[in-house]
Amino acid sequence: MDDAGLYTCTATNKYGSTNYSLNVTIMYAPTVGINKASEDWVEGKPQTVSCDVTGSPAPRLTWTKDGKPLSREKTLHIQSVHMDDAGLYTCTATNEYGSTNSSLNVTIMYAPTVGINKASEDWVEGKPQTVSCDVTGSPAPRLNLDQ
């Protein structure tokens, strides 16, 4: 790519001179990279992810999520992240000299939820009882059971 630019050939003799100029453009296969803050997206928050592409001629760009087409724009904007936004995002760049891609495996982070499974709130003195908590969250929450 350093060889691109204007080349001029000049011919001179005692009767005069002439020149010819040629503007050289280097053609090459695309390169692609995903510009991301994190692969961990937070539920309910906005998220932006960009695909940085070079190539000559200018590559065609395609975003997919889990293999399904999303967009042909350089940047994906998600206004409010939802659980179904988790998955494998791939940016593919293609021109007549090649095709390449870069991927981002997105995990959705969310606040914990908790529920208690119990047979009854009426316990019999001297009888064993079991209390179990159903907890979800990402990252995995720490659990405490207090009386």
pLDDT at 36: 74
Chain CA centroid to CA 58, Å: 20
Task: Please report, in tens digits, the pLDDT of each residue of the chain (147 residues total).
Answer: 688 899 999 999 999 999 999 999 999 999 999 987 677 899 999 999 999 999 999 999 999 999 999 999 999 999 999 999 999 999 999 999 999 999 999 999 988 888 877 666 777 788 887 777 788 888 778 877 666
Superfamily for the 28-110 domain: Immunoglobulins (2.60.40.10)
Distance, in Å, from the CA atom of 32 to the CA atom of 84, rounded to the nearest integer, reads 25
pLDDT at 3: 87
pLDDT at 139: 78
CA atoms within 13 A on the CB side of 27: 6
Element containing residue 87 per DSSP (H, E): strand 87-95
Q: What is the DSSP letter of 44?
A: T
Q: Which of 12, 80, 8, 75 is nearest to 48 (CA)?
A: 75
